[in-house]
A = this chain, B = another copy of it.
C-alpha cells in the first residue's frame, strides 16, 4: 500500500483536496491518483470524490496497519516497527522466522486473520478476519530460560490490564496464561522461545484477544467457553487503539521486569489471578493432579496442596477450576 496519498488526505482532515494538487505533491499522474484512491476504498477507506473539488477522506476503517497504529503508539521500543499482514498462517510462526533471521527486540507481527492460529499445546485459536487482535512481539531479554515463564506472567498482566481499561470490567488470569471475563476466555497467550541451555536468544509473545467478534460466530464447541470484549460490554472497541494500548502496557511491565526484577510482576499477577484457595485440577505431562491452589512461586510455578496434605509444585499444564470461589 502506498501510504503517501492517505497521509495527505488525513492531513487535510475533512476538507477537499483536488486530484491535480495531489498529483503535483506526490509527483504522479492524475490517473495514478485515481487508482490509489480506488485501492484505499477497497481497503475500507470512505472517500468522497467530487469532480469540482477533488477528494475528501470521510472515514477510516479500523485496521491494524502500521499507518493507523503507529501514530497512536507512545512506546519506545515495542511496535518499532509493526509488520502487518492481511492474513498469515500464524503470527507466532512469522515472528519466529523474523527473529531467527535477526529481527530486533520490539518488532511486532500483526495480522487481520490467521489461517492456522495456534493456541497452547498445538490447539487451534479461532482467528476470523478484521474482528480481533492477533499479534506477536519479539523480545530479546538477557535472561536464562528458567526465567522465561515470568514473561508469560508479565504478558498476562499487561493483557488483563488492557482488557480492564477497555471494558471497565475486572478480568481474571487463569494460570498460567488465559484471561477470563465472566468465566469465559477473552484472551490467550502462546509464548515460544529459542535459547541455549543457559541463555535466551529470543522470546515470542503471542497474544490473541477476542475484541469485536459476536458470540454466535464462535465455533459451537467453544461458544460456551469463549467471549469477546464486544459481547461483555455490548459495544465494539477500536482495535487499533486497543492494540497500541496493549503494546504500551506491555512495554511498561517489561521495563519494570528488566529494571526491578520479578517482584512487581509477580505481585500484579497474584492480584489479577486471585488463585489462593481455588480448587483446581491440573493436567501436566499426562498426569492429573487435584488440590487447593496455594500460590505461585518466584519462578511462576503453581503450588498446590493435594488431598493428602502435601505441597506439589507444577511448572506446566492445563488448569481447570473445579469450583468457583
Q: Which of B148, B197, B199, B285 contacts A197 (CB 8 A)?
A: B148
- On chain B, the residues within 8 Å of A146 by CB distance are 145-146, 149, 299, 315
- In the bound complex, residues from chain B placing their C-beta under 8 Å from that of A193 are 145, 193-195, 197
- A191 vs B195: C-alpha distance in the bound complex, in angstroms? 8
Pick from B120, B177, B198: contact of A315, CB below 8 A.
B198
Interface mask (A275-313 → B, CB under 8 Å = 1, otherwise 0): 000000000011000000000000100000000000000
Q: Mark A123-155, 1 if CB is under 8 A from B, else 0.
A: 000000000000000000011111011011000
A190 within 8 A of B: yes
Q: How far is the CA of A18 from the CA of B255 in the complex (A)?
A: 75
CA distance A199 to B316 in the complex (A): 7
The contact of A148 among B145, B151, B285, by CB within 8 Å, is B145
A54 at the interface (CB under 8 A from B): no
Interface string of A106-130 (1 = CB under 8 A from B): 0000000000000011000000000
- A192 in contact with B194 given A144-B315, A148-B145, A316-B199 (CB within 8 Å): yes
Q: How far is the CB of A312 from chain B (nearest CB, A)?
A: 14
Smallest CB gap from A93: residue in B: B100
Q: A317 at the A/B interface (Cβ < 8 Å)?
A: yes
Q: Does A260 contact B (CB under 8 A)?
A: no
A196 within 8 A of B: yes
- Is the pair B197, A151 in contact by a Cβ cutoff of 8 Å? yes
A19 sits at the interface (CB 8 A): no
Residue positions of A touching B, CB distance < 8 A: 120-121, 142-146, 148-149, 151-152, 176-177, 190-199, 201, 285-286, 299, 315-317
Q: Which 10 A-B pairs have the closest CB atoms?
A: A198-B316, A144-B315, A152-B197, A146-B146, A145-B145, A191-B197, A149-B197, A144-B316, A142-B285, A199-B316
